[in-house]
């Protein structure tokens, strides 16, 4: 059943979606002189801070991930940096129900929101945790796939090491899905004068060190609208 992302949960900050240049956008100052040099990557953030990712414009990101899960018959899913785990809505919309899922994020508010949405689903679990704390992210089901949703850029010089440590060594997964912003963004989808964080130019490691690599590029009408969705067979 499709979830209502306008659901009101007591004590959560409720803000209207911010639109800039006619597209969903995070709340970054309009004036260049007031903006930071790069978009802050914060471990703890309120639910509304990234609500542009909950819009219909952003849905193809998670639909692409869901299509890969279905195509490869993936049954055990770990979602790193899951936020509210929108992929679950899409999987169920497509009639794909027989799977186990654990998503974790460092920020409590999005996780609490997701836990409320999915509290009656026995196969779907959300946790507040970091990829650095292995004691909190173990599961009791076989992991087929680890999804990295715009998280590897948190380790700009060590993302390959982190990927291998978690995906291969810890979870022993056979698939991985990486979602990252493209290094080149269309005009109006990223602020002028700000540095874009991404590992888009460093994907050769994933292309050359595993059994197979395939990618899809999306061009969406929202902030950081150009995204790469990469599937890796380990």
Whether pLDDT at 1 is above 70: no
pTM of the shown model? 0.92
Q: Write out pLDDT tens, residues 97-112.
A: 999 999 999 999 999 9
- The C-alpha atoms of residue 134 and residue 3 are separated, in whole angstroms, by 30
**Which pLDDT does position 191 carry in this prediction?**
86
Is 4 inside a domain boundary?
Answer: no
Is 38 inside a domain boundary?
Answer: yes
- The C-alpha atoms of residue 68 and residue 145 are separated, in whole angstroms, by 10
**Which pLDDT does position 37 carry in this prediction?**
75
Is 9 inside a domain boundary?
Answer: no
- The C-alpha atoms of residue 101 and residue 124 are separated, in whole angstroms, by 5
Whether pLDDT at 8 is above 70: no
Is 3 inside a domain boundary?
Answer: no
Owning domain of residue 135:
19-233
**Which pLDDT does position 110 carry in this prediction?**
93
- The C-alpha atoms of residue 57 and residue 45 are separated, in whole angstroms, by 22
Q: Write out pLDDT tens, residues 123-169.
A: 999 999 999 899 999 999 999 999 999 999 988 889 999 999 999 99
**Which pLDDT does position 80 carry in this prediction?**
97
Which tokens hold the place of 189? Answer: 């989808």
Is 1 inside a domain boundary?
Answer: no
Question: Are 65 and 72 a contacting pair, CB within 8 Å?
Answer: no
Q: What is the mean pLDDT of the chain?
A: 90
Q: Report CA dihedral (115, 116, 119, 121) to the nearest 10 degrees.
A: -80
Across residues 83-96, what is the average pLDDT?
96
Instruction: Please report, for the domain that includes residue 74, its CATH number.
Output: 3.40.50.150
Which tokens hold the place of 218? Answer: 């999306």
Whether pLDDT at 14 is above 70: no
Number of domain units in the chain: 1
Is 5 inside a domain boundary?
Answer: no
Is 130 inside a domain boundary?
Answer: yes
Question: Given pLDDT bands bounded at 50, 70 and 90, which one contains residue 16?
Answer: confident
Whether pLDDT at 3 is above 70: no
Q: Write out pLDDT tens, residues 193-211.
A: 788 989 999 999 999 999 9
Is 158 inside a domain boundary?
Answer: yes
């Amino acid at each position: 059943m499709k979830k209502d992302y306008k659901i009101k949960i007591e004590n959560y900050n409720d803000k209207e979606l911010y639109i800039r240049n006619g597209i969903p956008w995070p709340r970054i100052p309009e004036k260049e002189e007031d903006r930071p040099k790069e978009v802050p990557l914060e471990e703890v953030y309120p639910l509304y801070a990234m609500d542009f990712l909950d819009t219909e414009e952003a849905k193809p990101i998670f639909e692409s991930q869901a299509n890969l899960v279905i195509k490869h018959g993936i049954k055990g899913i770990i979602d790193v940096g899951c936020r509210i785990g929108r992929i679950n809505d899409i999987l169920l919309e497509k009639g794909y129900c027989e799977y186990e899922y654990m998503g974790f994020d460092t920020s409590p508010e999005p996780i609490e929101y997701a836990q409320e949405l999915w509290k009656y689903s026995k196969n779907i679990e959300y946790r507040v945790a970091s990829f650095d704390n292995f004691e909190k992210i173990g599961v009791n089901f076989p992991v087929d796939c680890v999804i990295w949703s715009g998280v590897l850029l948190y380790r700009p010089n060590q993302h390959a090491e982190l990927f291998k440590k978690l995906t291969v060594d810890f979870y022993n997964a056979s698939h991985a899905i990486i979602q990252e912003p493209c290094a080149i963004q269309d005009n109006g989808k990223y602020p002028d004068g700000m540095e874009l964080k991404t590992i888009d130019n460093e994907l050769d490691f994933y292309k050359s060190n595993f059994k197979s690599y395939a990618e899809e590029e999306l061009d969406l009408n929202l902030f950081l609208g150009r995204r790469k969705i990469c599937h890796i067979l380990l």
